[in-house]
């Protein structure tokens, strides 16, 4: 790369930049804010480069065609216009790379007028009231209208909706009346998720965002990951709002309303209450949930640890079948199954590999299943009166909860899956100032906080938790003997695809709990366990391609897939905005929480050991656990 720096003058300030830096980026380094709408920090070239860096298939993209058009900013909203000395017209700073010294002005009467016109043009086809909008307060369009004093309606406003809002049956709800056609959703879906569920349809005055054949989202190849929602600057994309139904259940005296909370929302919900990203509010949230009226508050960490035991045991027994018994129905590598976006993704795009998926349900569903069985029995609750709610960072969890097969107990495992954003709204409606609350522990019997469960919220977390457990079970040694503080750093980080190895130099006796699965561990002695990780389904595509081509990932034994960039902490149901820096801050919160807990390994979670003693007495992957804790998948077109 040309390393000579170029000096540009922006609003009188001199900045030195690497050639190719955009004027927008240069202005930021000079502390000058230029408004943007079609640009998003996650969708700028640098972020996209990082997103795909250090993968086995560097430079190659999800689908066969090159994606240059998608990769470059569309510079279509034109709100980031600036003046460049010596050039006529105004120029979109997000698409203006610096190759020569230039003098730029980011504010002038002409610029302000143009920006205000652009905003008023957007409003001229915008139907909707801010007070009734899920994005009131986080809407970028609303904010800019306020900043630029858009008070008149010079170009008119529609008096009735121009489009119908399709809510029923859809988890991703689109309201095109609020869409400004910035295409962030289209690019996010394509470039991070590789799904390409969305496109621009039509031309000119007929342009709009649409799915293939203009189908509703529920009938499209959408995986419900919600990444599009999280990038949408307006209220044009939202998740189905289940808060009314949950309020209703809470207020029904006949119902026992139980909520489980996943790790990722705790590290993020504070952002909705003015906290810095990365402020964990786990126990304050428990207080708030009780205040709101939930009868029990459980920790999804419990079922995360349960998942590790089921999935880890499944891995051990698969390896045994494949490597020792030479049973070729035992598909390797085993794929994790806790990300419902990833599940729908593989069902749509790689159905051939469904046998590789772990049959273990996700922690959300496992918790739901034991709630209405084990817990109900133990406490004498009528399972038909339990309303099982979950707090998830994820919109796809709504889809998972609604899968018809998720009712092995005779009842829905989970009745309502709320996103972080929905719960934040419920708190606000209840007048709760979350950061100011006291701390309350989780309820028994699913309330032991464990580090292994918490890290499920970050990419690599499931793998780390699984490795801590599998290593100790197989070797009988402490994982700390290999990794300081049991921090398995090689699987952490944000690279799109990662791989790690762990050599099993000695083996121990098979613990009682697994004796029904393998006779001994001798066959694992000296073996090297190879694992892989991918987050953001576009990286999942890279992994799948590598596997198809017999590359290094095909040699892995276990691969963790997370549909969302950064894993659950970057989930589509998390507070808006979410971007690289915010994801990093949330990850930090998650790993520091892990470090503070006494129990940091799933197999040491006393609640989990108890349920195997009392309920799943035949151990993991046994008949009863299969019935309640495991599931199956289907091909989708």
Partner 1 sequence: MDPKAVHGFVGNKLSFSEVTPRDGIRMAAEMAPEDVVAIIGASGLRGRGGAGFPTGKKWEFARGQEGSPKYIICNADEGEPGTFKDRLILTDFPELVFAGMAIAGRAVGAEFGILYLRAEYGWLREHLDAALERCRVANTLGNNILGASDFSFDISIRMGSGAYVCGEETALLESLEGRRGDARNRIPFPVQAGYLGKPTVVNNVETLAWVPCIMVKGPSWFAAMGTRKAPGAWLFCVSGDCKRPGIYEYPFGTSLRQILSDVGAENAKAVQVGGASGTCVPPAQFDRTMTPGDLATGGSIIVFGPGQDMFAVAENFQHFFCDESCGQCIPCRLGNQRMLEAIGRMRKDGLTVDGERNVRQLAQTMTVASKCGLGQMSARAFLSILNNFSGELPGHV
Partner 2 sequence: MDAQQTLRTEVEQLVRVHGRTRTALMPILQDLNRAHSYISEDAMLAVSDALNVPRAEVYGVATFYSYFSVKPRGTYVIRICRTISCAKQGDYHPAIAALFDELGIGMGETTSDGMFTIEQTNCIGMCDQGPAMMVNEIPHIKLTEASVRSILNEYRHAALAAKKAQ
Minimum CB distance to partner 1, residue 538 (Å)? 19
108 sits near partner 2 (criterion: CB under 8 A):
no
CA–CA–CA angle 255, 261, 265 (5° rounding): 135
Q: Which is nearer to partner 2, 65 or 159 (CB)?
A: 65
Contacting partner 1 within 177-236 (CB under 8 A): 180-181, 183, 200, 202-207
462 phi/psi in degrees, rounded to 5: -60, -45
209 binding ligand SF4? (CB under 6 A): yes
Asked whether position 394 contacts ligand SF4 by CB under 6 A, the answer is no
- The one of partner 1, ligand SF4, partner 2, none whose footprint includes residue 184, by CB under 5 to 8 A per kind, is ligand SF4
Q: Omega into 445 within 30° of 0, i.e. cis? A: yes
Q: Backbone dihedral region of 349: left (phi > 0), alpha (psi from -120 to 50 degrees) or beta?
A: alpha
Site membership for ligand SF4, residue 224 (CB under 6 A): yes
Which residues lie closer than 8 Å to 497 by C-beta, 6 or more apart?
54, 55, 56, 532, 533, 534, 539, 542, 543, 553
Q: Is 149 in the site for partner 1 (CB under 8 A)?
A: no
Q: Which 3 state secondary structure label does DSSP give 258? A: strand
Q: Choose the contact partner of 113 out of ligand SF4, partner 2, partner 1, none; CB within 5 to 8 A by kind.
A: partner 1
Q: Taking CB under 8 A as the rule, does residue 113 contact partner 1? A: yes
Find out whether 545 and 352 touch, Cβ atoms under 8 Å: no
Angle CA(325)–CA(330)–CA(334) in degrees, nearest 5? 130
The closest alpha carbon to 484, from 600, 342, 310, belongs to 600
Residues 145-204 binding ligand SF4 (CB under 6 A) are 172, 178-185, 188-189, 193, 195, 197-198
Determine, following the binding rule CB under 8 A, whether residue 45 of this chain makes contact with partner 2: no
- How many residues form the binding site for partner 1 (CB under 8 A)? 42
Q: Residue 330 interacts with ligand SF4 (CB under 6 A)?
A: no
Cis ω for the linkage preceding 333 (within 30 of 0): yes
The Cα–Cα gap between 261 and 341 comes to: 19
* Rounded Cα–Cα distance for residues 99 and 7 (Å): 10
Closest to ligand SF4 by CB, 176 vs 284, is 176
CA atoms within 13 A on the CB side of 333: 26
Task: Decide: residue 127, CB within 10 A, 0-12 exposed, 13-18 middle, 19+ buried.
Answer: middle
Stretch in the footprint of partner 2 (CB under 8 A) among 64-72, 396-404, 449-457, 506-514: 64-72
What residues numbered 156-185 form the site for partner 1, per CB under 8 A?
156, 180-181, 183
Q: How far is the CB of 582 from partner 2 (least distance, A)?
A: 28
By a kind-dependent CB cut-off of 5 to 8 A, residue 78 interacts, out of ligand SF4, partner 2, partner 1, none, with partner 1
State the binding string over 15-54 for partner 1 (x if CB under 8 A, else -).
----------------------------------------
Contact residue for partner 1 among 95, 133, 269, 582 (CB under 8 A) = 95
φ, ψ dihedrals at 604, nearest 5°: -105, 5
Q: Determine, following the binding rule CB under 8 A, whether residue 205 of this chain makes contact with partner 2.
A: no
118 binds, among partner 2, ligand SF4, partner 1, none (CB under 5 to 8 A by kind): partner 1
Given the complex with partner 1, which of 95 and 486 has the nearer CB atom? 95
Rule CB under 8 A: choose which of 148, 192, 196, 494 binds partner 2. 196
Per CB under 8 A, 200 contacts partner 2: yes
Residue 397's φ and ψ, nearest 5 degrees, are: -65, -25
Helix, strand, coil percentages in the chain from 3-state DSSP, rounded to 5: 45, 15, 45
Residues that bind ligand SF4 (rule: CB under 6 A) add up to a total of 40
Binding mask 3-42 for partner 2 (x = CB under 8 A): ----------------------------------------
**Can you tell me the distance from the alpha carbon of 405 to that of 271, in angstroms, rounded to the nearest whole number?**
35
Which is nearer to ligand SF4, 506 or 636 (by Cβ)?
636
Binding flag, residue 235, ligand SF4 (CB under 6 A): yes
Which residue(s) pair with 532 in the sheet?
499, 559
In the complex, minimum distance from the CB of residue 225 to ligand SF4, in angstroms, rounded to a whole number: 4
Residues designated as active site: 311, 314, 338, 358, 397, 400, 405, 568
Q: Which helix (H) or strand (E) holds 26?
A: helix 23-29
Burial class (CB in 10 A: 0-12, 13-18, 19+), 634: exposed
**DSSP string covering 615-632, please?**
TSTT-TTSHHHHHHHB--
Residue with tokens 């408004």: 35
Q: Is 578 in the site for ligand SF4 (CB under 6 A)?
A: no
Beta carbon of residue 382, minimum distance to ligand SF4 (angstroms, whole number): 36
Between CA 50 and CA 133, with CA 278 as vertex, the angle to 5 degrees is 90
End-to-end alpha-carbon separation of the chain, Å? Answer: 44
Q: Is 255 left (phi over 0), alpha (psi -120 to 50) or beta?
A: beta
> Which listed residue (41, 201, 216, 295) binds partner 2 by CB under 8 A?
201
Nearer to partner 2, 168 or 213 (CB): 213
Sites of contact with ligand SF4 (CB under 6 A): 126, 128-130, 133, 135-136, 139, 141-142, 172, 178-185, 188-189, 193, 195, 197-198, 209, 222-228, 231-237
Interacting residues with partner 2 (CB under 8 A): 63-66, 190, 196-203, 210-213, 220-221
Residues that bind partner 1 (CB under 8 A): 65-66, 68-69, 72-79, 81, 89-90, 92, 95-97, 99, 110, 113-114, 117-118, 121-122, 124-125, 154-156, 180-181, 183, 200, 202-207
């Amino acid at each position: 790369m040309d390393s000579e720096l170029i000096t540009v003058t922006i609003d009188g300030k001199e900045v030195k930049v690497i050639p190719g830096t955009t004027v927008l980026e240069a202005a930021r380094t000079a502390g000058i804010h230029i408004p943007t709408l079609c640009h998003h920090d996650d969708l700028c070239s640098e972020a996209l480069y990082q997103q795909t860096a250090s993968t086995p298939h560097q430079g190659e993209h999800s689908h066969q065609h090159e994606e240059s058009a998608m990769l470059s900013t569309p510079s279509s909203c034109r709100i980031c216009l600036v003046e460049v000395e010596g050039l006529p017209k105004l120029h979109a700073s997000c698409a203006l790379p610096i190759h020569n010294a230039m003098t730029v002005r980011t504010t002038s009467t002409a610029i302000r007028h143009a920006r205000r016109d652009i905003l008023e043009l957007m409003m001229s086809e915008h139907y909707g009231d801010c007070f009734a909008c899920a994005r009131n307060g986080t809407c970028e369009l609303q904010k800019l209208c306020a900043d630029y004093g858009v008070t008149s309606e010079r170009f008119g406003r529609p008096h009735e909706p121009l489009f119908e809002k399709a809510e029923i049956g859809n988890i991703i709800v689109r309201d095109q009346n609020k869409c400004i056609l910035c295409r962030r959703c289209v690019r996010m879906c394509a470039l991070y998720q590789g799904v390409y569920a969305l496109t621009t349809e039509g031309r000119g005055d007929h342009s709009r965002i649409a799915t293939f054949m203009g189908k509703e989202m529920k009938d499209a190849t959408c995986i419900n990951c919600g990444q599009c929602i999280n990038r949408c600057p307006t209220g044009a994309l939202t998740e189905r709002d289940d808060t009314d139904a949950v309020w209703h259940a809470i207020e029904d005296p006949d119902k026992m309303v139980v909520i489980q909370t996943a790790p990722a929302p705790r590290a993020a919900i504070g952002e909705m209450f003015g906290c810095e990203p990365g402020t964990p509010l786990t126990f304050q949230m428990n207080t708030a949930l009780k205040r709101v009226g939930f009868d029990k508050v459980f920790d999804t960490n419990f079922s995360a640890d349960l998942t590790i035991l089921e999935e880890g045991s499944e891995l051990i027994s698969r390896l045994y079948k494949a490597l020792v018994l030479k049973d070729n129905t035992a598909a390797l590598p085993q794929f994790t199954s806790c990300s419902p976006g990833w599940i729908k993704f593989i069902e749509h795009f790689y159905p051939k590999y469904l046998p590789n998926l772990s049959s273990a349900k996700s922690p959300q569903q496992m918790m739901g299943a034991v709630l209405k069985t084990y817990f109900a029995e133990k406490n004498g609750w009528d399972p038909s009166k339990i309303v099982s709610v979950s707090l998830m960072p994820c919109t796809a969890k709504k889809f998972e909860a609604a899968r018809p097969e998720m009712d092995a107990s005779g009842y829905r495992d989970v009745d309502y899956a709320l996103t972080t954003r929905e719960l934040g709204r419920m708190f606000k409606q209840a007048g709760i100032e979350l950061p100011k609350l006291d701390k309350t522990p989780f309820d028994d019997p699913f309330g032991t906080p464990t580090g292994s469960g918490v890290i499920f919220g970050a990419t690599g977390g499931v793998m780390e938790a699984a490795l801590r457990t599998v290593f100790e079970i197989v070797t009988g040694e402490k994982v700390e003997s290999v990794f300081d503080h049991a921090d398995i750093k090689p699987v952490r980080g944000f690279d799109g695809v990662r791989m790690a190895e762990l050599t099993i130099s000695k083996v121990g006796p098979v613990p009682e709990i697994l004796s029904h699965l393998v006779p001994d561990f001798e066959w694992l002695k000296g073996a090297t366990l190879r694992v892989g990780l991918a987050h953001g389904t576009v990286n999942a595509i890279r992994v799948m391609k590598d596997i198809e081509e017999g590359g290094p990932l095909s040699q892995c034994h276990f691969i963790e897939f997370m549909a969302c960039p950064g894993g659950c902490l970057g989930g589509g149901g998390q507070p808006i905005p979410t971007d690289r820096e915010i994801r990093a801050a949330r990850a930090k919160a998650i790993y520091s929480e892990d470090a503070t807990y006494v129990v940091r390994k799933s197999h040491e979670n006393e609640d989990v050991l108890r349920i195997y003693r009392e309920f799943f007495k035949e151990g993991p992957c046994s008949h009863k656990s299969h019935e309640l804790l495991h599931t199956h998948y289907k091909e989708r077109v």
